[in-house]
Amino acid sequence: MNECYYDKRMDFFYNKTNTDTVDEWTGPKLIVVLCFGTFFCLFIFISNSLVIAAVVKNKRFHFPFYYLLANLAAADFFAGIAYVFLMFNTGPVSKTLTVNRWFLRQGLLDTSLTASLVNLLVIAVERHMSIMRMKIHSNLTKKRVTFLIISIWAIAIFMGAVPTLGWNCLCDITACSSLAPIYSRSYLVFWSVLNLVVFFIMVVVYIRIYMYVQRKTNVLSSHTSGSISRRRTPVKLMKTVMTLLGAFVVCWTPGLVVLLLDGLNCTYCGIQNVKRWFLLLALLNSVMNPIIYSYKDDEMWGTMKRMICCSSEDKSQDRRSSRIPSTVLCRSTDTSGHYIEDGIIEGTICGKGDLGDKGNS
């Protein structure tokens, strides 16, 4: 019967797996990594909080697609928490960690990745349901969307806890990986291959949807002349999701490939030299997503800008009485709540944007 090492600290496992690069996290390299990591994490917390608040505040976003988009922002926010915990438990500190604390460190990262991945997969299904019918939003009810969001986090937490539940090498030290000294190499192969396969499936699905919509749009444009911008709205939302998926694949694929090589016990691949930079690349994905939201979606950017602007001018607005009742200006005629390109109210003044929102209530 194999001996188990539950009571050992991580230095024991780093030494057993010949991981001799932990000390390289000291000095200038560690300072650079921590500085960039701190800046990125602050940006992740602020920007993704704005995205979630924008979806809650703007009634034009009260549809399944945007609820799932807000949940993706929540997954990015959680990733920021995971990276903060990592920063305080990396470098020379890694060797002093207990097994449970190291499991927690890696579990948080795995949970954030799974939450983002499953969320993108659910968004792909939602886009398929709506775009194949040339609709802006699917007919998912709020109850079903809530169930999907709860399911996403349940799956993410479970996948993050799998190594802790037993798929590890604490009782078989010869099966330990190099990058994750208490993870079994078989688990790293399973984890990386599973994620890469899901990446491939989603890319294929979106390419298929994109080709279908382009073909339908060309047919419709030859027969309609008045509301082409309305026809393009589903395409615009789909392009936003495709951009998010593309950024996710680009940022996470290198790290997953490195994990796969480690799981396959590739001793000459030099994976120890690139692991920290691929980790920063994965962190960059959570930074990019809010930028993509605001750049690709004018309504999202307008709502976020009004919230930032108005929060800084609340005191000055409290001293002034409203000159014109909000029920008079900017009354929206969009009773369906659908996001239509040519129906967006883009006010550069905070008060103007707020009146537009109030008119929808």
CA 337/CA 64 separation, integer angstroms: 12
| Assigned token pair, 168 | 């590890």
| Assigned token pair, 229 | 């911008």
Query: Could you read off the pLDDT of 268-285 as tens digits, one per residue?
Result: 777 777 777 888 888 888
φ/ψ of 9, rounded to 5, equals -90, 170
Query: Could you read off the pLDDT of 180-225 as tens digits, one per residue?
Result: 889 999 999 999 999 999 888 888 888 887 777 777 767 666 555 5
HSE-up of residue 93 (Cα within 13 Å, Cβ side)? 10
Q: What number is the average pLDDT over the span 74-79?
A: 93
Domain 10-309 = CATH 3.90.1010.10: no
Confidence of residue 27 (pLDDT cuts 50, 70, 90): low
Q: What's this model's pTM, rounded to 2 decimal places? A: 0.77
Q: Is the pLDDT of residue 118 over 80?
A: yes
Query: What residue segments make up the domains of the chain, in order of their start?
Result: 10-309
Confidence of residue 361 (pLDDT cuts 50, 70, 90): very low
Q: Is the pLDDT of residue 53 over 60?
A: yes
Q: Is the pLDDT of residue 46 over 50?
A: yes
Average pLDDT, the chain: 76
Q: Is the pLDDT of residue 263 over 50?
A: yes
Residues in the chain: 361
